[in-house]
Amino acid sequence: MTKSFTSTWLRGLTKLAQIQTRLVRNAVKQTTKKAVASGTKAAQAKAKVSKLDPLGLRPKSGQPVKPRRATIATTKAKPVSGPAAQTTSAAATATRKRATREPIQSRVRPSGHALLKGDWNRSFHSAPPAPGDLVSHLAYGLYLPPAKGTGKRPLVVMLHGCKQTSEEFAQGTHMNALADEYGFAVLYPEQSRLAHAHRCWHWYDPSERAGAQEARAIVSLVEAVFARENIDPSRVYVAGMSAGGGMATLLAIRYPQAFAAVAVHSGPVFGDAHSAMSALATMRRGTRDDPLALLAGTPEFATHPGIPAIVIHGEQDDVVLPHNAEQLSLQFVRLNRLIDGEGRRLHGSVRQTDTVGVHRQDWMLDDVPIVRACRIAELRHAWSGGDGAIPFHSSDGPDSSRLIYDFFRLHRRAATAIRQPAQPVLVV
């Protein structure tokens, strides 16, 4: 009796499980059919909307949405500097890109790009090692545009900032495109990650195993390129951004015989920082000491011949505050002996100019700007007028590369300044 009851109970339990399984399968099938039907309707609706909405705007309440018109009339005109002004077709192209709200695209690459006409080469330079080191290799990129005539060409040395490479700096600044226009060569030394985790130049540490070694390696690289390429020794210039700007200032003060002029974009005041922690403090506030006294305290100041300089800074820079640019400009004015240690003018005159988005102050001598300070409105910590797709570069504002080279073209140095290289170049 018990065995018969148990068998009947098990058969009933088995049937109940089978019924539940069929119910679950049916429910899954119904859900799948509804999802497929819903997806088909959504795809049909999307296709129908796309015909009405070429900009991809989704309709509300079942009503088609008209594409928004671009307010071209309210677009600010980009200020133009230098002899080569923006053409009407280029301006129209830029306006169409903004009107259609396309994502920012890189317009200039360091190599293999249709817009560039020259050659981009990557290499390593065997520089003089620091004390205690056996060897020192400095990576770099070199851009050589097509030669214009048979004469020697100028050379612009470009020093990148932290978290940048030579390729990114070349692409972000558009300096290679400008080199095609004017025919100058562009050299991009690259800081190693072994020297600094973020590829920062040690502008704040002039010791023999840090900033002094890096500056010596850069000058050695310039000498090697000068000996190998058809470079005009009287027209070798150096420019830098942020930490690269700090290194450019260090080079201008320690090696004035090597460069005809210097450009500092978003860079710190000279002489205040001596460690990584003090460098951050300098960037945030400038120096609390007298910037002219800091300059006079350097060993190179007494015999320095002076060097023309252009300082560019954004008014909204929250990484290296604009007060750094004001103090650095005064240091360069003092370095060129246009003012005394108290800031009183000794020679020349001061001229101020305001254009769209740019306030410019020139310290003039014989009607030639020796020191030029450019303050750019609404610019943060970025290279103005560059490729906005690259970090630390802004597509807005005046073209800093053109501003810099327009200033460089006004200045030359004696042809005997560059020596022959003591170290070879390792091409890889």
Task: For residues 25 and 16, give the distance between their C-alpha atoms in angstroms, rounded to a whole number.
Answer: 14
Q: Within 13 Å, how many C-alpha atoms sit on residue 171's CB side? A: 19
Predicted confidence band at 380 (pLDDT cuts at 50, 70, 90)? very high
What pLDDT sits at residue 81? 43
Question: From the centroid of its chain, how far is CA 230?
Answer: 27
DSSP secondary structure code for residue 142 in this structure = E
**What is 273-308 written as a DSSP string?**
--SHHHHHHHHHH--SS-HHHHHHTSTTTTT-----
Order the strands of the 185-190 sheet from edge to edge. Answer: 349-355, 358-365, 368-376, 309-314, 261-265, 231-241, 153-159, 185-190, 136-144, 119-127, 425-426
pLDDT of 99 higher than 90 = no
Task: For residues 307 and 410, give the distance between their C-alpha atoms in angstroms, rounded to a whole number.
Answer: 12
Q: Which position has the higher pLDDT, 417 or 274?
A: 274
Predicted confidence band at 91 (pLDDT cuts at 50, 70, 90)? very low
Task: For residues 80 and 78, give the distance between their C-alpha atoms in angstroms, rounded to a whole number.
Answer: 6
**Extended beta strands in 170-258, E state:** 185-190, 231-241
Which class would CATH give 112-426?
alpha beta
74-83, 155-164, 257-266, 365-374: which range is least confident on average? Answer: 74-83
Amino acid letter, residue 382: A
What pLDDT sits at residue 26? 76
Pick from 226, 155, 217, 162: nearest CA to 189 = 217
Q: Within 13 Å, how many C-alpha atoms sit on residue 20's CB side? A: 6
Look up tokens 């240690």; give the residue: 341
pLDDT of 250 higher than 70 = yes
H or E stretch including 228? helix 211-228
Q: Using an 8 Å Cβ cutoff, are 278 and 204 in contact?
A: yes
Q: What is the average pLDDT across 373-392?
A: 95
Task: For residues 412 and 234, give the distance between their C-alpha atoms in angstroms, rounded to a whole number.
Answer: 5
Predicted confidence band at 115 (pLDDT cuts at 50, 70, 90)? confident
Q: Which two tokens stand for residue 235?
A: 């027209």
Around Cβ 134, how many Cβ atoms within 10 Å? 5
Task: Quote the Cα angle for 160-410-245, to 5°.
Answer: 20
Pick from 393, 246, 313, 387: nearest CA to 238 = 246
Q: What is the average pLDDT across 89-97?
A: 47
What pLDDT sits at residue 128? 78
What pLDDT sits at residue 427? 39
Q: What pLDDT digit, counting tens, does each position of 20-76 carry?
A: 677 767 776 776 666 656 655 555 544 443 443 333 333 334 444 343 444 434 444
What pLDDT sits at residue 138? 92
Look up tokens 């004001």; give the residue: 326
What pLDDT sits at residue 415? 54
Q: What pLDDT digit, counting tens, does each position of 269-287 carry?
A: 999 999 999 999 999 999 9
Q: Using an 8 Å Cβ cutoff, are 269 and 212 in contact?
A: no
Average pLDDT, the chain: 81
Look up tokens 């327009």; give the residue: 406
How many percent of the chain have pLDDT more than 70? 72
Q: What is the average pLDDT across 90-100?
A: 45
Q: What pLDDT digit, counting tens, does each position of 181-197 carry?
A: 999 999 999 999 988 99
What pLDDT sits at residue 116? 85
What pLDDT sits at residue 47? 44
Flag whether the pTM goes above 0.95. Answer: no
Task: For residues 157 and 264, give the distance between their C-alpha atoms in angstroms, rounded to a whole number.
Answer: 12
- Domain limits, the chain: 112-426
Determine if residue 358 is left, alpha or beta; phi over 0 gives left, psi from -120 to 50 gives alpha, anything else beta: beta
pLDDT of 112 higher than 50 = no
pLDDT of 248 higher than 60 = yes
Q: What is the average pLDDT across 311-330?
A: 97
What pLDDT sits at residue 134? 59
In whole angstroms, how far apart are CA 308 and each of 15, 296, 331, 368?
96, 18, 12, 10
Around Cβ 34, how many Cβ atoms within 10 Å? 10
Around Cβ 322, how many Cβ atoms within 10 Å? 18
Predicted confidence band at 127 (pLDDT cuts at 50, 70, 90)? confident
